[in-house]
Amino acid sequence: MSAAVPNILRTASDIVDAGLAPRERLKTLEQVAARYAVAITPAVADLIDPSDPHDPIARQFVPDGRELQTKPEESRDPIGDDAHSPVAGVVHRYPDRVLLKLVNACAVYCRFCFRREMVGPGRGGLAPAALDRALAYIGAHPDIWEVILTGGDPLVLSARRLREVVRRLAAIEHVKVIRVHSRVPVAAPERVTAALVRALRSDKATFVVLHANHPRELTADVRAACARLIDAGIPMLSQSVLLRGVNDNRETLSALLRALVECRIKPYYLHHADLAPGTAHLRTTIAEGQALMRALHGRTSGLCLPTYVLDIPGGYGKSPIGPNYLSVDGATVEDFNGRRHAYAAADSSGANTTAVSNS
């Protein structure tokens, strides 16, 4: 591992000077950094092995010249947030929940980010009047059961600001659940202070969803930060992005998912990487993702298994993308060893006459 890096690395020169990329790449790194935001925190920099040209942590955070190549199928808004934004800061895609984007900054900037065209330092966040309008929208829509704080990364905000937002959301009677999506416990575990944990608590159920992609991200400090949240009564889930060269093999993915469960964090989603600009080198195929899920099924505890999902380009929402174990006609189902078994389904009246037989 590299020597401890004292400050956040925000420029190509910072990254080269810290020894996280060779000097001959400086010009390319500068071109990428001029296009997409860069930030690597000390906690993340310390995870990178500069002697490994294929380091899975560096791949996620150190800019790469291939980011300058945009494919025709890639889009600045790959999951279609804009099409479902009734007021600034709110994305209302599904009937019972909304995203509330409080801030456009993050502690680190991931090279595969699906909102990479929207996030960055100095991109600001919701101004007070816009936050008032967003909360008024939520308050006026009684079907909104859950509010998901996202961004950017909401946990870069001060405990005082978070407490204020949580308090105002909790005061909306029909909002029953507040969910916070964050990479901060990995990127800057020291930010998960007692004050921040208190700020997230309210009389509504609050969940924190951790974004982690590689088992090395779950350091002792990160585990302690997550334990502070969980011990305070805030259950945690995780989301990971399937990334080529980072976690696209069974051993790494299994180690990540098991480590999360050992930290009392339930793996929730494995995202197929979105069609964000300049990220083709980090995407796998869906067939590769399905093969990985198949390899995990039955050999890794069900507690560890996330749902493999694709955010449908255009804003149509997430859908589980398999693999599927039931034959198209429902007559056979595959077990975790790849053997097919006949399945006699319920009759057409829906009566409960199911039976399973081994072939």
**Residues 184-213 vs ligand SF4: string with x where CB under 6 A?**
---------------------------x--
Q: Is 52 a catalytic residue?
A: no
Pick from 168, 163, 236: nearest CA to 206: 236
Nearer to ligand SF4, 93 or 183 (CB): 183
Q: Is 106 a catalytic residue?
A: yes
Q: Is 274 a catalytic residue?
A: yes
Cβ(84)–Cβ(135) below 8 Å: no
In eight-state DSSP terms, residue 348 is T
Cβ(318)–Cβ(312) below 8 Å: yes
β-strand pairing of 307-311 with 332-334: unpaired
What's the rounded Cα separation, in Å, for the pair 110 and 101? Answer: 17
Q: Does 113 bind ligand SF4 (CB under 6 A)?
A: yes
Q: Does 8 bind ligand SF4 (CB under 6 A)?
A: no
Q: Is 35 a catalytic residue?
A: no
Q: Is 113 a catalytic residue?
A: yes
3-state secondary structure of 80: coil
List the one residue from 21, 58, 98, 110 that touches ligand SF4 (CB under 6 A). 110
Shortest distance, position 117 Cβ to ligand SF4, whole Å: 10
Nearer to ligand SF4, 12 or 110 (CB): 110
Q: What is the DSSP string of 134-196?
A: HHHHHHT-TT--EEEEESS-GGGS-HHHHHHHHHHHHTSTT--EEEEEESHHHH-GGG--HHH
Q: Does 79 bind ligand SF4 (CB under 6 A)?
A: no
Cβ(160)–Cβ(185) below 8 Å: no
Nearer to ligand SF4, 119 or 305 (CB): 119
Please choose, out of 5-13, 109-117, 220-228, 245-253, the segment that lies near ligand SF4 by the rule CB under 6 A. Answer: 109-117
Pick from 216, 170, 196: nearest CA to 56: 216
- Write out the H or E segment, with its range, that includes residue 316: none
Q: Is 250 a catalytic residue?
A: no
| Subset of residues 144 to 183 that bind ligand SF4, contact rule: CB under 6 A | 151-153, 183
Residues binding ligand SF4: what is the number (CB under 6 A)? 11
* Catalytic residue selected from 115, 191, 223, 294: 115
Shortest distance, position 153 Cβ to ligand SF4, whole Å: 5
Residues carrying an active site annotation:
93-94, 97, 106, 110, 113, 115, 274, 311, 318
